Amino acid sequence: MKKNTKIYIAGHNGMVGSAIWRILSAKGYTNLIGVSSKDLDLKNQQAVKDYFAAEKPEVVIDAAAKVGGILANNDFPYQFIMENMQIQNNLIDTATQSGVKKFIFLGSSCIYPKLAPQPLKEEYLLTNSLEPTNEWYAIAKITGVKACQAIRNQFDKDYVSLMPTNLYGTHDNFDLNSSHVLPAMIRKFHDAKENNNAPVILWGSGTPMREFLFVDDMAEAVVFALENKLPEYLYNVGTGEDLTIKQLAEAIQKITRHHGEIIWDSSKPDGTPRKLMDVSKMHELGWKHQVQLEEGIQKTYVWFLENAGKFKEVKM
């Protein structure tokens, strides 16, 4: 991959896209392009075609998606399946029609069955039922994976899908109505600390196990896929290590220096009991994560504190 190759990063303002842009720039890539959602609606097929015709990207990295946690997926199922399919279909098809030879599609570990054996291997895809709380997003992402596989098989193009575990880090979403579990906990513990160490109410029992990857490590995995022709169509990206939600809460409580009570609301859903990724395929190729969880949470909390003025007030 030449340093002046024209690389289009869809979703470059988001947490993942901005990390990819930052890492690529640091590695000397000089021809990165991106456009904000207000200037290019990726759900609009003709607009996407016009953008590709004008810019002529050589490589496309799809980090654009409508994302959210259990609450958002539950409340807006139609938007989660339809908007994600519109975004990725427009990008994948336009890239194919435009002669883009390399496409990196980013998905999520939620594509795997709810009760699949642990750790999750790539070959478990489509072997059983999905987790109901995020099946709409998962189904959309599965269609993207299979579309890239079809293009790879039929046209021999280097289209590859990377499935990250739960991502977190700088530029994360801390809105409690739509955020994922780790940034939501940072927000809740911080705000409770500022409110005389008020109790923090968390969803579920705290027993499900989750794996978390710092976003810069995800960006490094994308660069690895960019600079190498990976032999298969689908790869898991994670740490291969997990912990309970209760352990995560205690770690975040310590880092944010909250000294109040944690209350578990067991009337709320837990989601999938466990989601640990088998990352042996990426390890065998030479990629491995570098940032450990505590260090990553600390970096994320520092960024949160530096940008706290941008976030909406939360009613305690």
Phi, psi dihedrals of residue 54, rounded to the nearest 5° = -80, -40
Q: Where are the domains of the chain?
A: 7-310
Q: pLDDT at position 312, please? A: 56
Are 233 and 161 a contacting pair, CB within 8 Å? Answer: yes
109 appears as a binding residue in the annotation: yes
Q: What architecture is domain 7-310?
A: 3-Layer(aba) Sandwich (3.40)
- The model scores a pTM over 0.85: yes
Q: Which residues of the chain have pLDDT under 50?
A: 313-316
Burial 259-288 (b: 16+ CB within 10 A, else e): eeebebeeeebebbebbbbbbebbeeeebe
Q: What is the pLDDT of residue 311?
A: 66
What whole-number distance in Å separates Cα of residue 75 and Cα of residue 34? 30
Binding site annotation covers 180?
Answer: yes
Number of neighbours of residue 98 by Cβ within 10 angstroms:
16
Q: Is 286 annotated as a binding residue?
A: no
Question: Is 203 marked within a binding site?
Answer: yes
Q: What is the pLDDT of residue 178?
A: 73
The reported pLDDT for the residue numbered 314 is 43
Residue 50: Cβ within 10 Å count: 13
Active site residues: 137
Whole-angstrom distance, CA of residue 151 vs CA of residue 154: 5
User: In the prediction, which pLDDT does 316 show?
Assistant: 32
The 10s digit of each residue's pLDDT in 295-312 is 999 999 999 999 987 765
pLDDT at 176: 84
The span from the first CA to the last CA of the chain, in angstroms, equals 50
